[in-house]
Amino acid sequence: MIRQSQPLVLPAWVPAEAWEGFVEMRGVSRAPFSTVAAQRILLKLDRLRNEGEDPGKVLDQSVMNGWRGVFAVKPRGY
């Protein structure tokens, strides 16, 4: 039996503008993702947030670098 994915609900701690920029970048780079993939990215973003990372900065970094995933913010000058 195939289960349909639940609609994605963006948590309140995720800045909508940063998320929309990330989704747009993924689409433009021909790497759109499914609802399941988006949920997994949000889980990783939550882990990073619990480690002290700013979710907006994490998403912005991924957009600026064209990254498909989310990663801890790298220090300046890399």
pLDDT digits (tens, 9 = 90+) for 12-53: 999 999 999 999 999 888 877 788 889 999 999 999 999 999
Find all residues with CB under 8 Å of 53, minimum gap 6, and list them.
72, 73
Angle, CA 31 vertex, CA 51 and CA 2 arms, to 5°: 90
Q: What is the pLDDT of residue 19?
A: 96
Whether pTM > 0.75 for this model: the answer is yes
Which residues contact residue 31 at a Cβ distance below 8 angstroms, ignoring those fewer than 6 apart?
68
25, HSE (Cβ side, Cα atoms, 13 Å) = 18
